[in-house]
Homo-oligomer: A and B are copies of this chain.
Amino acid sequence: MNLKNQVEWALHCCAVLSNLPEGRYLSARSLSEFHGVPKEYLGKALQGLSKAGIVHTTLGPSGGYRLALPAGEITFLNVVEAVEGRKSTFQCSEIRANNPCRPGDFCDDKPCAIARVMWKADEAWRQTLAAVSLADLQQTLQQDLPAEILRRSTEWLLDRAG
């Protein structure tokens, strides 16, 4: 029961893109270099963000990625679901139907009681992620990191943004 590596990468990429000036683009190559992860595989995660409408892309030289919405309107949940999918962590295989004491034609009117609890927990998980936006993350990072590193990182980005 692990989230994919790509979820972590996508979130870090979004954090970087949040600091990009309006209208500028950053390539997958630069993003992979900045985070020290394989470029080709990171591209798969970024494609997921693109399909979900979280980022906008441009082709050709000086092309790449930028956020498609203001950072305050993109939540952790949006990013996580774009990469990981929207399936619940709990898959109900309806084993209650295997109960030998059931009439063969019996039809349940509610989902399994166990599944309902597990799905409620998933919902709590999603609500927590939906409550935090990329703007919140940006603010947290500015408090956590020394100004010197922030300054040099921004410089590094602007140097490569098309």
**Which range contains the number of A residues in contact with the other chain?**
35 or more
Interface residues of A in 1-16 (CB under 8 A from B): 1-5, 7-9, 11-12, 15
Kindly supply a per-residue 1/0 record for chain A positions 139-154, scoring 1 wherever the CB is within 8 Å of any chain B CB and 0 otherwise: 0110010100100110
What is the oligomeric copy number? 2
In the complex formed, the residue of B with least CB distance to A140 is B113
Inter-subunit contact B12/A117 (CB<8 Å): no
Complex contacts, A96 vs chain B, CB 8 Å: 12
Contact with B along A79-96 (1 / 0, CB 8 A): 000001101011111011
B-contacting 9-mer, from A21-29, A55-63, A98-106: A98-106
Alpha-carbon distance A125/B122, docked complex (angstroms): 6
Select the residue from A5, A7, A90, A121 with max chain B CB neighbours within 10 A.
A121
Q: Are A8 and B121 in contact (CB under 8 A)?
A: no
Most buried by B among A114, A120, A146: A114
A-B contacts, 10 of them at CB < 8 A, read A1-B2, A3-B91, A8-B114, A12-B96, A35-B95, A101-B152, A110-B144, A117-B129, A117-B132, A117-B137
